[in-house]
Amino acid sequence: MGDSPLVSTARHGLTINCCTVASLTFLVWDIAITLDEEIRYIWSQRITSPTKLLFLFTRHFSILPQIFVFLRAIGSLGAIPSSERVCRSWFTFQCLALQFLILTVELILMLRVYALYCESPRIRRLLIGLVATDLIFIVGSSSAVIPRIRFSSDCTPIESLLARVFFHLMMSLALLIQLVLLVLTIRQSIRGFRSRTPIIYVIMRDSLWVFGIVTAMLLLNGVCYFFFGPIFQSLVFTWFMSILSFSSCRLVLNLSRLGANGMGTSREHPVLTTNLEHNKLDALETALKSRSDVRCNSSMLIG
């Protein structure tokens, strides 16, 4: 004999709470173990530093949506099952929160690409175009498509051609931007491999693992929304937020650590990270010159 709707709802709420608490615990743990580095490397930067602003946003913003997921699961933000209007509002909030956190990761990667190409005007125009396209698409598609998506009583989007197109376009654009940034990074990093400069290996490594994580989570998120119920949706959403926060903060802290250690110039004595904010990319420029006549005529300050 199956469970009653009340028992099933209570079980779903408990499972979602456990998932949310687990992802929040991971996020708080990550903040705690890197707080000393955050104070040392991030807080000392000027208030208008893009690196500082992006770091603080991605570090702390991801906590807020997960708290809302927890409060909603325990009924503090309305009863479950919910009306279609409530489901649509909740779905819009989740989509925008996730997309803007992904955009933050992309902006951090773009700053690295901009530094790699020595403030190239062509690269700057390309990156600005990518950001503008992403923002226009996020706002435009969300306002045009989400009001037409239908939802079940447990706030799962009802499968339809419109819903599928929306998810496919959102995932495709995010993956395309990630791929463009990865290709740009690999293309320029390969030119500096023979110099055996640790910064080149660090930039390549970070770009690869971030691309892999974001790609996997985007695909998993899309699958869960169409083929599984609200438990898996909440599981992927909360953990995706935590992993995005973890990844983007590691990108910044990894950059800072190597700079603080002097940006080692030999792979035999590797330092794991670098700080482009407080250096003039001397090691990076040397690496690039070893394979081409590229010259950085001014320092690249990511901040």
Residue-range domain boundaries for the chain: 22-289
Question: What amino acid is encoded at 280 in this protein?
Answer: K
Q: Is the dihedral of CA 145, 148, 152, 155 positive or negative?
A: positive
CATH T-level assignment (fold) for domain 22-289: Rhopdopsin 7-helix transmembrane proteins (1.20.1070)
Could you read off the pLDDT tens digit of each residue along the chain, which spans 303 residues? Answer: 455 555 555 666 677 777 788 888 899 999 999 999 888 888 888 888 888 899 999 888 888 888 887 787 776 666 565 678 888 888 888 888 888 899 999 999 998 888 888 888 999 999 999 999 999 988 888 888 888 888 877 777 777 788 778 888 888 888 899 999 999 988 887 776 655 566 777 788 888 888 888 888 888 877 776 666 656 666 777 888 888 899 888 888 887 777 666 554 444 433 333 334 444 333 343 334 444 433 453 334 334
CA dihedral 98, 208, 109, 92 (to 10 degrees): -10
Which residue reads 């599981």 in tokens?
Answer: 235
Q: Which of 99, 98, 105, 46 minimizes the C-alpha distance to 252? A: 105
Residues 6+ apart with CB under 8 A from 255: 51, 112, 202, 273, 274, 275, 276, 277, 302
Cβ atoms within 10 Å, residue 82: 19
**Directed axis angle between helix 198-227 and helix 161-190, to 10°?**
170
Q: Is 213 exposed, middle or buried (0-12, 13-18, 19+ CB in 10 A)?
A: middle
Instruction: Say how many residues make up the chain.
Output: 303
Helices (H), the chain: 5-33, 35-37, 50-61, 63-73, 84-116, 121-145, 161-190, 198-227, 230-260, 282-289
**pTM for the full predicted model:** 0.79
What tokens does 103 get?
A: 């955009």
